[in-house]
Amino acid sequence: MPRYFFNIRSGDVLNKDPEGEEHDTLASAENEAIQSAREIMGEAVKSGRSNAKGKVYELPDVAGQVLSSIAFTDVLQVRDDTSATETE
Residue at 82 is within a domain: no
Total number of domains constituting the chain: 1
Q: What is the mean pLDDT of residues 50-62?
A: 87
Residue at 86 is within a domain: no
In the chain, DSSP assigns E strands to 3-4, 7-10, 13-15, 21-22, 55-60, 66-71
Return d(Cα 71, Cα 60) in angstroms, integer: 15
Residue % of the chain over a pLDDT of 70? 83
Cα 15 to chain center, whole Å?
13
Cα 81 to chain center, whole Å?
24
pLDDT band at 3 (very low <50, low <70, confident <90, very high): very high
Residue at 70 is within a domain: yes
Task: List the domain range (segments joined by +) for residue 50.
Answer: 3-76
Q: What is the pTM of this model?
A: 0.79
Residue at 87 is within a domain: no
